[in-house]
Amino acid sequence: MLYDSLPGGTGYLHRLAGPDGLHDVLTRARQIIEQCSCGGEDRPACHRCLLRYVDGGEYELVSREHAPDMLGELFGRTGDAWSIEETGTTRDISLVQQVESELEALFRRGLLAWAEGFDGVSVRTAQTPDGERDTTLRFTAPDGTVSGWRMGTQTDLGFTVPDVVFRSLDDDRKRVAVYLDGYRYHASPDHNRIASDADKRTGCAPAMAGRSSS
């Protein structure tokens, strides 16, 4: 969604109405972000690349590291993933993927904030070769035993695609599936999926088959 934050507008948005104009602007933006000298200054961003476009209270939310990831979702690693689709009205544009990504980001932030409060929990975040974010949690028990779990998002398990899946680094058969949609999309009168959700939980954890859960 592109919008002009200035009252009355600046008159520039019409230049982005065509796919070529938008592609050119995003390509130039990607180059500026990737080549900005603040990358060698150990700074998340600066006024030469991103900070001039946000309010002072939002500085801590801006990251040069994440911006190329977001643009990479549009262009792909080799730049050949760009595709457009014409639509008559914004009502025809689905926001499902955007909502899912926002929920995943909120869940991740909450998880990292929780982990910071415990001495026995450590978190490592890295970027995989295919551009995905790899998050690993390690738990140290009082007796010194260490266990690890890798967090993945939108993982296709064959019979379901949970928002988040944790896989044990010690036993790949152990996994925990997390759904973030909540009551509205799972148990409301308009979207009652309690029965199918129970089947998915059983499939995720065969050992629980036949047991009741609340």
pLDDT beyond 80 at 113: yes
- Give the C-alpha separation, 194 to 182, whole Å: 11
- Those residues whose C-beta lies under 8 Å from the C-beta of residue 66, and which sit 6 or more positions away, are none
Q: Provide the percentage of residues in the chain whose pLDDT is more than 70.
A: 82
Residue reference for tokens 């600046």: 10
User: What would the pLDDT profile of 22-79 be if each residue is shown by its tens digit?
Assistant: 888 888 888 888 889 888 888 888 988 888 888 877 888 888 888 887 888 788 766 6
Tell me what pLDDT residue 132 has: 62
Is 156 or 151 the better-scoring residue by pLDDT?
151
pLDDT mean over 145-155:
87
Residue 44 CA: distances (Å) to CA of 7, 71, 92: 30, 17, 36
Max mean pLDDT among 122-131, 134-143, 151-160, 201-210 falls in 134-143
pLDDT band at 98 (very low <50, low <70, confident <90, very high): low
Is pLDDT of 206 > 70? Answer: no
Name the band, by pLDDT with cuts 50, 70 and 90, for residue 168: very high
pTM above 0.85, yes or no: no
C-alpha–C-alpha distance, residues 125 and 123, integer Å: 7
Taking residues 164-171, report their average pLDDT. Answer: 89
Residue 139 has a pLDDT of 92
Which residue has better confidence, 77 or 184? 184
Identify the pLDDT of residue 213: 34
Dihedral sign for Cα atoms in the order 16, 6, 68, 180: negative
From the CB of residue 194, how many other CB atoms can be counted at a distance below 10 Å? Answer: 8
Other CB atoms within 10 A of residue 46 CB: 16
What's the pLDDT at 211?
33
Mean pLDDT of the region 73-100: 69
pLDDT category at 140 given cuts 50, 70, 90 is very high
Q: Are 64 and 36 in contact (CB under 8 A)?
A: yes
What is the pLDDT averaged over residues 180-194?
Answer: 76
The average pLDDT across 97-122 equals 79
